[in-house]
Amino acid sequence: MKTSKAQGPARVYRILLVDDNRNGLLARKSVLEEHGYTVDAFSAPVEAVAQFEAITYDLVVTDYRMPKLNGAELISAIRAIRPEIKVILVSGVADVLGLDEKSTGADMVIPKSSTEVTHLIRAAKRLMEPHTPKKPVRSATSKKPRKQSASQ
């Protein structure tokens, strides 16, 4: 778990992961847990929706092609329960079928590829973890000389 000496333990985020492919499910679950997330994994979308009703999640990660409910139908079902939930759709057919955020209802769509894990972790952080804006860095050339007061 991520901790900070100044702030104490970091918040632990809970993810609902849905994929009918057992190998993909276990691989994504392992990677997300290595990054400090609590992950509940389901291979059946209908069971995942029932679990979503019972437990509060911070993020849902789902595949697109699954039996009984595809990813877009799953997203629609969970958004009917909690419209504000953040969702990432991961699919091997995203490009072929033209899947995007608008057509699926997901907050982010990630094609399955060799860079999928990097994109998944980055997307999870972006959607769940609060962003602290940083102060802009001023370069040495952009600094204006200060006016000296008359009392000097």
Distance CA 118, CA 16 (A): 18
Those residues with Cβ within 8 angstroms of residue 43's Cβ, 6 or more apart along the chain or in another chain: 18, 19, 20, 21, 22, 25
Tell me what pLDDT residue 151 has.
Answer: 56
- Per-residue pLDDT of 88-115, as tens digits, reads 998 876 666 667 688 777 898 888 888 8
- Per-residue pLDDT of 42-92, as tens digits, reads 999 999 999 999 999 999 999 989 989 998 999 999 999 999 999 999 887
Structural domain spans, the chain = 11-129
Band (5; pLDDT cuts 50, 70, 90): very low
pTM of the predicted model over 0.75: yes
Those residues with Cβ within 8 angstroms of residue 2's Cβ, 6 or more apart along the chain or in another chain: 9, 10, 36
Distance CA 104, CA 44 (A): 19
- Could you name the CATH architecture of 11-129? 3-Layer(aba) Sandwich (3.40)
